[in-house]
Amino acid sequence: MPPAGPFVGRPEALARWPWLEQVDWEGLDAAFPVRIPRDYVEGATDPDDPRLLTVLPDAREALAAPDDREDPVGDALMSPVPWGVQKHADRVLLLLTKRCHLYCRYCFRRNHEPGDAQDPSSEEWARLLAWAASSGAREAILSGGDPLAISDDRLYEVIDALRPSIPVIRIHTRAPITYARRITPELVAGLAARGPIWVLVHANHPGELTPAVEDALRRMVDAGLPVLNQAVLLAGVNDDVDVLAQLSERLVSLRVFPYYLHHPDHAAGNAHFRVDPARGLALHRALRSRTSGIGLPAYVVDPPDGSGKIPVEEWMARGAGGTRG
Binding-site ranges for ligand SF4 (CB under 6 A): 100, 103-104, 107, 109, 144-146, 174
DSSP 178-225: H-GGGS-HHHHHHHHTT-SEEEEE---SGGG--HHHHHHHHHHHHTT-
> To the nearest whole angstrom, how small is the minimum distance from the Cβ of residue 159 to ligand SF4?
20
> To the nearest whole angstrom, how small is the minimum distance from the Cβ of residue 103 to ligand SF4?
4
Cβ contacts of 272 within 8 Å, gap of 6 or more: 58, 60, 61, 63, 235, 236
> To the nearest whole angstrom, how small is the minimum distance from the Cβ of residue 210 to ligand SF4?
17
> To the nearest whole angstrom, how small is the minimum distance from the Cβ of residue 58 to ligand SF4?
14
Nearer residue to ligand SF4 within complex by CB, 34 or 245? 34
Nearer residue to ligand SF4 within complex by CB, 95 or 133? 95
d(CA 278, CA 263): 11
> To the nearest whole angstrom, how small is the minimum distance from the Cβ of residue 293 to ligand SF4?
27
CB 24 within 8 A of CB 59: yes
Nearer residue to ligand SF4 within complex by CB, 135 or 270? 270
Nearer residue to ligand SF4 within complex by CB, 146 or 239? 146
Q: Which residue number is nearest to ligand SF4 in terms of Cβ?
A: 107
d(CA 256, CA 249): 10
Nearer residue to ligand SF4 within complex by CB, 105 or 219? 105
Nearer residue to ligand SF4 within complex by CB, 82 or 195? 82
> To the nearest whole angstrom, how small is the minimum distance from the Cβ of residue 145 to ligand SF4?
5
User: Which strands make up the sheet holding 227-232, listed edge to edge?
Assistant: 84-88, 91-95, 139-143, 168-172, 197-201, 227-232, 257-262, 298-301, 310-311
Cβ contacts of 231 within 8 Å, gap of 6 or more: 202, 203, 204, 238, 244, 247, 258, 260, 261, 262, 297
